[in-house]
A and B are shown apart, each in its own frame.
Chain A
């Protein structure tokens, strides 16, 4: 036997048949242990929706980010790593309830969300805007000017629009219910078509 054959034999011997963690049990166990030991700062999962694959991420305090696939989920997670903590694992448990409620919402069976949210990604006026958005009821729209007024700064219409377009929790914090004064839908993180679809769905319900 040559050295090369020996080395090949060593490298092959411990690879294990059937691939690495093909049933995901090792990973699930790691995530569960990490959660139990308080080491899981951000957990995430994805769900299918009529608007495409959605990324849901949560801290121990609550849902912290909802992202459309057009935002690039990998990039979103990398930004969460920088902004919150790199201790991030795919771990569905913490997000099951949010996923379930979003499913119900898209099925037309739910009009409001009842999950803890963590608004730490929004600061100052933007945060006030998000707090206000949470109170706009299902099926109702408001203008950016009205939102600026309600958030405590009537002249900050552009800042209010910016807060909507940077909303870290679209859908759950319903920035899609804010439209331009001329009645057109305006910008949306998930694209203007997604916004129109949501408004149409809520109007029809």
Chain B
């Protein structure tokens, strides 16, 4: 064995060409997407649907995302993409058009209602009711701007309006909530 051979066979898991290609395309394993964005998608699902249906919506959102993920354009905002999917799942569920969850069979069980464990019902029923009472665009703008931290441009696209309209809807929504809470004398 020559010295050259030792250099050539030094540890290096796969062909360098392939490694370079995957870096260029910035292909991230979907597991990383779930780990990074799972919490924000759950917050959005809870806000859209309440704790009881949030877990199903979360699973459906990430299943749809997993299916489409290989075709996602490089450079897309993954958070905005996921929140858009969650938004559509939310609309489906609210319309009652969502397929009922399949029989779970041997699937790991979900927390029965994580409302109880998360203490949301005691925490902020008030806010939930006030948020649900907002007109849909305001409610959407508040959730997607402040809970999902999307830009106004992204919120506008999601709500099929403009960045300007989204900014106004979010401001109007927050103003309504403020009015509601100052009236309610609850701090």
Contact = CB atoms under 8 A, between A and B. Distances in A.
A and B interact: yes
B71 to A, nearest CB: 10
A186 B42 CA distance: 50
Interface residues of B, number: 67
B129 to A, nearest CB: 11
Nearest to A4: B174
Given A1-B187, A16-B42, A83-B18, A89 B31 contact: yes
Secondary structure class of chain B's binding surface, majority of residues: helix
Interface stretch (B84-92, B117-125, B151-159, B161-169): B117-125
A26 B110 contact: yes
Contacts, number: 187
Contacts of B111: 23, 25
Interface string B1-45: 100011011111111001101110101111100100011001110
Most buried by B among A11, A14, A188: A14
Contacts of B187: 1
Contacts of A10: 47, 127, 131, 142-143, 146-147, 177
A89 B30 contact: yes
Interface of B: 1, 5-6, 8-15, 18-19, 21-23, 25, 27-31, 34, 38-39, 42-44, 46-47, 51, 55, 58-59, 62-63, 66-67, 69-70, 106-111, 114, 117-120, 123-124, 127-128, 131, 142-143, 146-147, 174-175, 177-178, 181-182, 187
13 contacts: A7-B174, A10-B177, A14-B147, A16-B51, A18-B117, A34-B63, A82-B27, A87-B69, A89-B31, A89-B66, A165-B11, A166-B12, A187-B11
